[in-house]
A and B are shown apart, each in its own frame.
Chain A
Amino acid sequence: MISLLSTLAPLLCGGLLAATGAGKLFGRQVARQAAGTVLVRLLGDGRRAARALRCVGAAELAVAAGLLAAPRAVASCGAAAVLGAGFLGYLGYAKATAPRSSCGCTAGEEGPIGWRSFTRAALVVAAGLAAPAADGTWWSAPAGRPVASAVLVLLAAAVLVVLFGGVDRLWLLPLRRARLRVFGHPLGGPAAGAPVAASVELLERSLAWQAASAVVRSGLLDHWDEDGWRILRYAGVHEGGQGARPVNVLFALDLAATVDNTPRPAVRVTVVDDATDEVVQVPLPTAAPRTLLPLAEPA
């Protein structure tokens, strides 16, 4: 199996390099691809980075051609190993100095450098080192062991597909969907009680909120539940007769009420002086709620 793998390594590595090299050399979005890489900082500007990326693409294509045409030649295997080692060095440097930069390795990837990039580069090195040890050329291997060769090529192709982030949707999403179907949804179903966010949402759509809006200044400061009530505390400023003074604005709502089950929420509103803890009588202008316009009836 190992000898078969080293015999087929030039084919697989050549295929990988041909795909990524062609993407870099002929890709339309190489400039955009280059813009996210550490090359921009190394070379000074984006245009030079794009040119460098295209040169790397040309080199990859040349090595791929060498590997495919002369799989056992020391020159092509050595070039692949050196290219792979160069990639590893570049990736290590980029990861260390600019962890957020993208690698620019393939057209489909824009995210930060991850394990996929390192694995691809390591595989190129491994293929370059393994190829000279092969028993024969990759095109003669299927003649001797056709089934094993086909299985190995398919397996290797699957590994390469996994190593390309851009084609995730082809295999990863169906796999994850199938896992959800088999093992069930991992996230819990309906929980008892309404979350605080639902109470805040209800409050902010209530007439009480509108009435108190002249006083409230802060976002939600604190909340707690007691005796079936949910208390929401906000900070505000009350401009009364003695000038402006800081106050707490307290809203009390039914613990279970949400916008789904309570179209007209009843909210208790209290304004408490922050310094003296006295309840401040604030007139709450409860303007009439907007009347709903009649909906058009379908004919």
Chain B
Amino acid sequence: MNTGHQHGRSGDRRGFDRRRFLTRAALGGATVVGASALGGLDAEAAFAEPMPSLDPAIARSTFAEGRISRVNGSVLEVKGSYGEQHLVQLTNATSVWKLRPTTADAIKPGDGLYARGVDMPDGTIAADAVWVNIVNILCTIRGIAKDRLHLSHGRHAVVGHLHAAHTTASYLGGAQTADLSRLRIGQSAQILGAWRPEDDGIDVARVTAGH
């Protein structure tokens, strides 16, 4: 127990020192000023239409989706929605999104997954980014409570769980904010979040309300 604790602390210290080093490096970088019209690679990009990219690396990417049937070390066995099988290899350069940027430890069998990566000669996909349980659905807000939104998606009732540190809202195309007090009952809202296999709810990452 003690050893584990020591281990954890030295790990934290290494992480802390590494961050300080990277901060110094980051603040020494070249400054680029301006806005662009190009999209990103964040969670929302998992749903983006495939489009020709300026970047040859992205054009070489492959995409996998399905349910994780087994986690075998750093390899995820994924059963695709159309019966296909994928082996998704995670590396320490793979970003893992599950409501927030997290680590491979958060991935559990039974989770759904979207992965972007590169085909390897051995048939696996070396993942650059995986999005776990990501859902992006248009809902109507049917109720607002302290820690949850009651939503309806079509004729289905869905509970959206709110997380103070991670749930943001965007109103009328504005910047994302932690201010959720402008949500109204009866409003249509695009909900981006992580599906919860255990109770079929959604951990809400972002509420985009049009009005």
Q: Are A221 and B101 in contact (CB under 8 A)?
A: yes
B206 partner, pick from A197, A231, A259, beta carbons under 8 A = A197
Q: Give complex CA distance A190, B175 in Å.
A: 12
Q: Is B162 an interface residue (CB 8 A)?
A: yes
* B12 CB contacts on chain A under 8 angstroms: none
Which residue on B lies nearest to A250, using beta carbons? B26
**Which residue, A213, A246, A290, has most C-beta atoms of chain B within 10 A?**
A213
B35 partner, pick from A177, A206, A222, A279, beta carbons under 8 A = A206
Range for the number of chain B residues in contact with chain A: 35 or more
Interface residues of A in 162-212 (CB under 8 A from B): 165, 168, 172-173, 176-177, 180, 185-191, 194-198, 200-211
Which residue on B lies nearest to A192, using beta carbons? B178
Q: How many residues does chain A have at the interface if contact means C-beta atoms less than 8 Å apart? A: 80
Q: Give complex CA distance A289, B150 in Å.
A: 42
Query: Knowing A218-B93, A259-B175, A274-B93 touch, does A286 contact B34 (C-beta < 8 A)?
Result: yes
Q: Give complex CA distance A110, B25 in Å.
A: 55
* A259 CB contacts on chain B under 8 angstroms: 174-175
Q: Is A145 an interface residue (CB 8 A)?
A: no
Q: Is B11 an interface residue (CB 8 A)?
A: no
A-B contact count (CB 8 A): 226
Q: Are B21 and A206 in contact (CB under 8 A)?
A: no
* A279 CB contacts on chain B under 8 angstroms: 25, 28-29
* A217 CB contacts on chain B under 8 angstroms: 57, 93, 128-129
Interface residues of A in 53-95 (CB under 8 A from B): none
* A142 CB contacts on chain B under 8 angstroms: none
* A219 CB contacts on chain B under 8 angstroms: 41-43, 95, 97, 101, 128-129, 131
Chain B, residues 144-158, CB within 8 Å of chain A (1/0): the string is: 111000100001110
* B137 CB contacts on chain A under 8 angstroms: none
B40 partner, pick from A209, A246, A270, A284, beta carbons under 8 A = A209
Which residue on B lies nearest to A274, using beta carbons? B93
* B43 CB contacts on chain A under 8 angstroms: 219
Q: Are A200 and B185 in contact (CB under 8 A)?
A: no
Q: Give complex CA distance A259, B40 in Å.
A: 14
Q: Is A235 an interface residue (CB 8 A)?
A: yes
The 3 closest A-B pairs by CB, nearest first: A204-B40, A270-B29, A207-B34
Q: CB within 8 Å of B: which residues of A?
A: 100, 110-112, 165, 168, 172-173, 176-177, 180, 185-191, 194-198, 200-211, 213-214, 216-224, 226-227, 229, 231, 233-235, 237, 246, 248, 250-252, 258-261, 263-272, 274, 277, 279, 284, 286, 289-290
Q: A190-B181, A201-B176, A213-B53 are in contact. List 14 more A-B contacts (CB 8 A).
A: A176-B144, A196-B100, A200-B42, A208-B32, A221-B93, A250-B26, A260-B174, A263-B35, A268-B30, A268-B32, A269-B29, A270-B30, A277-B21, A286-B34
